[in-house]
């Protein structure tokens, strides 16, 4: 019989898979659920990263048509950059204290949400392609963040792609999910190597996050673009408020 702790972590994983596919921010369900389950913060963070990682695979599969439409050389470059960023971020988490970075997280999330909200207007005003030059350097920085702390990764990636001129929201979602999948699996491998993951909870949550990711991708493609955009902005503002409250 499944006790309440397992029900809470399982429901959090399912919801995180759906939320990550649509807007990002699923770790804000899994991380608190694992803390509720009694895990210390570092183990909860590593286990949360493991829990949501398969959901990115499910949601990437849900956007397979959009991924196929992206030029292979673009995908290859971005996957390599995402992999590098994920490994660097995981290494930073394992060797440095998180206190300073934790203080920056709410500001980073708030900035990302603002950039995502203003991205289309900024891109429209900048008719040239100069802003696209920031796409790969920006992706590297965001993926380092994602390897270090997964919370808000989806919002940051969607802000990056919107700001650098990607106007098709389904393509933004497809790239967000694919690169999240790549960087999260490599960072999880680093956490596993360091023995930071609680595997009984991680495996249970991974299965449900995968189901949630696949379902969320299908839902995201059916929702109007404006609704998805509002969900992303609402998620970003909510996550920012949560992290600011932790600084008080």
Predicted confidence (pLDDT) at residue 232 exceeds the cutoff of 90: no
User: pTM of this prediction?
Assistant: 0.79
Average pLDDT over residues 173-182: 89
Give the H or E element holding residue 134: none
Q: Give the list of residues 6+ apart from residue 206 with CB closer than 8 angstroms, or none.
A: 13, 50, 51, 53, 54
Number of other CB atoms surrounding residue 200 within 10 Å: 9
Q: What's the full length of the chain, in residues?
A: 248
Q: How far apart are the first and last CA of the chain?
A: 39
Contact assessment for residue 58 and residue 184, using Cβ atoms and an 8 Å cutoff: no
Number of other CB atoms surrounding residue 123 within 10 Å: 17
Q: Which two tokens stand for residue 47?
A: 């286990």
Q: Give the list of residues 6+ apart from residue 40 with CB closer than 8 angstroms, or none.
A: none
pLDDT the model gives residue 122? 66
Contact assessment for residue 88 and residue 235, using Cβ atoms and an 8 Å cutoff: no
Phi, psi torsion values for 40, nearest 5 degrees: -65, 160
pLDDT the model gives residue 84? 95
Phi, psi torsion values for 159, nearest 5 degrees: -65, -45
Give per-residue pLDDT as tens, 115-173: 778 767 766 665 555 567 788 999 999 999 889 877 778 878 888 888 887 878 888 88
pLDDT the model gives residue 1? 42
pLDDT the model gives residue 123? 61
pLDDT the model gives residue 2? 54
For the chain, how many structural domains are there in total?
1
Q: Give the list of residues 6+ apart from residue 23 with CB closer than 8 angstroms, or none.
A: 154, 155, 158, 228, 231, 232, 234, 235
Domain span at residue 44 reads 4-247
Q: At what angle do helices 135-148 and 72-95 cross, to 10 degrees?
A: 40
Give per-residue pLDDT as tens, 5-58: 899 999 999 988 888 777 667 887 888 888 888 887 778 888 999 998 887 877
Looking at per-residue pLDDT, the higher value among 219 and 189 belongs to 189
């Amino acid at each position: 019989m499944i006790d309440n702790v397992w029900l809470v972590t399982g429901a959090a994983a399912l919801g995180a898979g759906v939320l990550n596919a649509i807007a990002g921010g699923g770790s804000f369900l899994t991380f608190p659920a694992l803390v509720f389950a009694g895990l210390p913060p570092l183990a909860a963070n590593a286990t949360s990263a493991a829990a949501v990682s398969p959901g990115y695979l499910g949601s990437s599969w849900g956007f397979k048509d959009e991924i196929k439409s992206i030029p292979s050389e673009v995908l290859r470059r971005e996957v390599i950059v995402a992999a590098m960023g994920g490994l660097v971020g995981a290494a930073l988490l394992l060797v440095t204290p998180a206190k300073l970075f934790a203080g920056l997280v709410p500001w980073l999330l708030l900035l990302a949400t603002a950039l995502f909200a203003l991205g289309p207007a900024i891109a429209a005003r900048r008719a040239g392609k100069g802003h696209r030059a920031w796409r790969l350097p920006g992706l590297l920085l965001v993926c380092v963040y994602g390897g270090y702390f997964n919370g808000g990764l989806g919002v940051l990636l969607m802000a990056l792609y919107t700001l650098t001129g990607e106007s098709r929201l389904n393509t933004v979602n497809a790239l967000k999910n694919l690169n999240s999948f790549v960087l999260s699996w490599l960072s999880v491998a680093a956490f596993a190597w360091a023995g930071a993951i609680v595997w009984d909870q991680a495996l249970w949550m991974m299965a449900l996050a995968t189901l949630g990711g696949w379902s969320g991708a299908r839902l995201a493609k059916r929702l109007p673009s404006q609704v998805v955009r509002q969900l992303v902005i609402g998620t970003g503002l909510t996550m920012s408020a949560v992290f600011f409250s932790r600084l008080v």
